[in-house]
């Protein structure tokens, strides 16, 4: 029994004198792996050996196809990222200013603003599916100019006049942004499919009408609340109902037109699915 223990201890002592494994750097590992892959019979790609990659070398040279692909990838991601950042700030302010004073008016205004945030994100998501282009300064400016107007109403929960004025400005700026979008969406975006192009522009005209009328109506509610402060809660609730109606019309027209455009190209997108 003691002999067995001694043997085990002797083996353990010998194991301590093993040769340390060869140190592997990232480049050694990469080149060893690549060499083994090149020499295997499963590699259908011919590879020209060259020098080790230098710092700052390109991994993909710029060509027409590469530029188009990058633009298509960056355009929607940039829009959604900007909108997400702005709405994150707006949601934080909305929560901060809602819970300390959850009156009927503040609750109605807060719920209304929440649906406005959802409708803006929904619109940009739908737009990114239907059309894309190489991002420019205007494309970066418009989301900040339009979606940024979602933030001030969250500061003025309970203040009917200020809340209405800021939301009226938001809808009117949205109407201007829709006009710019229509201007820079020619037939080429739809591959020459004029019917789909007409449906898209009809949708933008409908949204311009809805946002324009909604902006004017909400501004009038704010003006009436300023002139009749004794019934500001009533005017605030009417303004909230007006905004909710505007959002409902935007969603309804977007669902209908987007479904028609998808159906034209043979893609199944049932409205309100």
pLDDT tens digits, residue range 78-126?
888 989 999 999 999 999 999 888 899 999 999 999 999 999 999 999 9
Name the pLDDT band for 41 (thresholds 50, 70, 90). Answer: low
How many angstroms separate the CA atoms of 197 and 92, rounded? 38
- CA-based end-to-end distance of the chain: 77
What is the 8-class DSSP label of residue 17?
A: T
Segment 69-74 mean pLDDT: 88
- Pick the closest to residue 167 from 89, 123, 234, 220 (CA basis): 220
Segment 247-260 mean pLDDT: 97
Name the pLDDT band for 18 (thresholds 50, 70, 90). Answer: low
pLDDT score of 89: 94
CB 151 within 8 A of CB 116: no
Q: What pTM did the predictor assign?
A: 0.77
**With 50 as the cut, is the pLDDT of residue 4 above it?**
no
pLDDT score of 140: 85
Sign, CA torsion 95/99/104/105? negative
CB 153 within 8 A of CB 167: yes
pLDDT score of 49: 54
pLDDT score of 30: 46
Mean pLDDT, the chain, as a whole number?
84
State what percent of residues in the chain have pLDDT above 70: 81
Name the pLDDT band for 7 (thresholds 50, 70, 90). Answer: very low
How many residues in total does the chain contain? 273
State what percent of residues in the chain have pLDDT above 90: 60
Residue 217 CA from chain centroid, whole number:
29
């Amino acid at each position: 029994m003691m002999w067995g223990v001694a043997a085990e201890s002797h083996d353990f002592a010998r194991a301590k004198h093993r040769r340390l494994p060869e140190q592997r750097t990232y480049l050694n590992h990469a080149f060893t792996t690549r060499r083994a892959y090149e020499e295997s019979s499963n590699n259908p790609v011919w590879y020209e050996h060259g020098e080790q990659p230098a710092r700052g070398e390109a991994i993909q040279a710029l060509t027409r196809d590469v530029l188009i692909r990058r633009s298509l990838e960056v355009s929607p991601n940039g829009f959604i990222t900007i909108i997400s950042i702005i709405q994150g700030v707006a949601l934080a302010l909305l929560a901060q200013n809602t819970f300390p004073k959850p009156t009927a008016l503040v609750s109605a205004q807060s719920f209304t603003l929440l649906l406005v945030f959802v409708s803006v994100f929904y619109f940009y998501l739908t737009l990114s599916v239907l059309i894309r282009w190489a991002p420019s300064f205007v494309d970066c400016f418009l989301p900040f100019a339009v979606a940024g107007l979602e933030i001030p109403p969250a500061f003025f929960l309970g203040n009917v006049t200020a809340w209405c004025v800021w939301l009226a400005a938001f809808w009117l700026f949205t109407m201007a942004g829709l006009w710019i979008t229509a201007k820079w969406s020619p037939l080429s975006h739809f591959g020459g499919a004029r019917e789909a192009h007409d449906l898209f522009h009809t949708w933008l005209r409908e949204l311009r009408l809805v946002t324009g009328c909604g902006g004017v109506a909400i501004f009038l509610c704010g003006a009436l609340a300023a002139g009749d402060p004794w019934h500001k809660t009533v005017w605030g609730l009417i303004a909230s109902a007006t905004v909710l109606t505007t959002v409902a019309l935007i969603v309804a027209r977007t669902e209908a037109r987007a479904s028609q455009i998808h159906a034209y190209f043979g893609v199944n997108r049932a409205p309100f699915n």
